[in-house]
Amino acid sequence: MRKKIAAGNWKMNMTLEEGKKLAGEICDMISKRPLKTMKANPGVIFFTPFIHLVEISKIIRGLEGVYVGAQNCYSKPSGAYTGEVSAPMIRSAGATHVLIGHSERRNLFDEHNKMLAAKASIAIENGLKVVFCCGESLGERENKKHFDVVEQQLKEGLFWMDEESFSNIIIAYEPVWAIGTGITATPVQAGEMHTLIRKLISEKFGEKIAENCTILYGGSCNSKNAQELFQQKNVDGGLIGGASLKAGDFFKIIQSF
Ligand code: 13P
């Protein structure tokens, strides 16, 4: 059965001290109400800035189902790439997951599908699980291109892999127009895109792999709308920005399955 997941993307927020406090508060709540006592037994991932990884990894240690991930990695394992951070470094910091292809990386830092495919590949080679983001812009949706855009992102970013590599992929559908805007995709809009994504995975890798793949929704998901979104058949949880920065709100989201 596929895993339900609530993941927080902290983006470029939180000093190290603030991040430790936030993760500590959420982990306290989880120790009092362990994830495995919740009906869905969800996983929780904190996607923190690079410099937080070591410390947050220490804070989550011993808590079952709680993981730490980076928000990006470079496409090469090591070398003269000043300012970049590699997958082996991320792994050595205690992280188990990495976000690849967030729309902020695609749009602000010109990351295209070919580069993202290389990043996903190196991340998996180094033992990381990849949360691969896809999603259309407002213009693309208004022009009814949203299904085509997401299909192309998946095909170029992921569908070159073999089945074993793909088993390390979690997908996050994040419509760009919903990110940080307070506008959430309706449960129907999210549901139909997630259903398409699972169908595409099934066509490429077979039904069993498609059924086991976790597909998250992201974009103004919060403690009030999470439950309705997570009830959609093919929505397996959320990738949460703003609402993951408040311990109480994020814990409510974790309990929304
Ligand atoms: P918000 O939840 O702040 O809209 O951000 C979503 C997101 O980009 C998560 O990766």
pLDDT of residue 1: 83
pLDDT of residue 121: 98
Nearest CA to ligand 1 atom 5: 241
Whether the full predicted model's pTM is greater than 0.95, yes or no, is yes
Which residues lie with the beta carbon below 6 Å from any ligand 1 atom? 9, 102, 174, 179-180, 218-221, 239-243
80 CA → ligand 1 middle, Å? 32
Looking only at the bridges linking them, the beta strands covering 237-240 and 66-70 are unpaired
- Please identify which of the residues 97, 102, 146, 194 carries the catalytic annotation: 102
pLDDT of residue 178: 95
CB contact set of 185 (below 8 Å; sequence gap of 6+): 175, 178, 193, 217, 219, 229
Average pLDDT per consecutive 10 residues, the chain (257 residues; last block may be shorter): 96 98 98 96 98 98 96 98 98 98 97 97 98 97 97 97 97 96 93 97 97 97 96 97 98 97
Domain ranges for the chain: 45-255
72-99: b or e for each residue (b if 16 or more CB lie within 10 Å)? bbbbeeeeeeeeebbbbbbbebbbbbbb
Give dist(CA 177, CA 171) in Å, integer: 18
- Please identify which of the residues 104, 136, 140, 174 carries the catalytic annotation: 174
241 CA → ligand 1 middle, Å? 3
pLDDT of residue 17: 98
Give dist(CA 235, CA 225) in Å, integer: 13
Give dist(CA 164, CA 157) in Å, integer: 16
Q: Return the beta strands (E) in 16-121 as ranges.
A: 43-48, 66-70, 97-100
Looking up tokens 């066509």, which residue turns up?
A: 203
The domain 45-255 is placed in CATH, from the list 3.40.47.10, 3.30.390.50, 3.20.20.70, 3.40.50.10090, at 3.20.20.70
Nearest CA to ligand 1 atom 9: 241
Q: How far is CA 60 from CA 36, 56, 121, 230, 257, in A?
A: 15, 6, 26, 24, 21
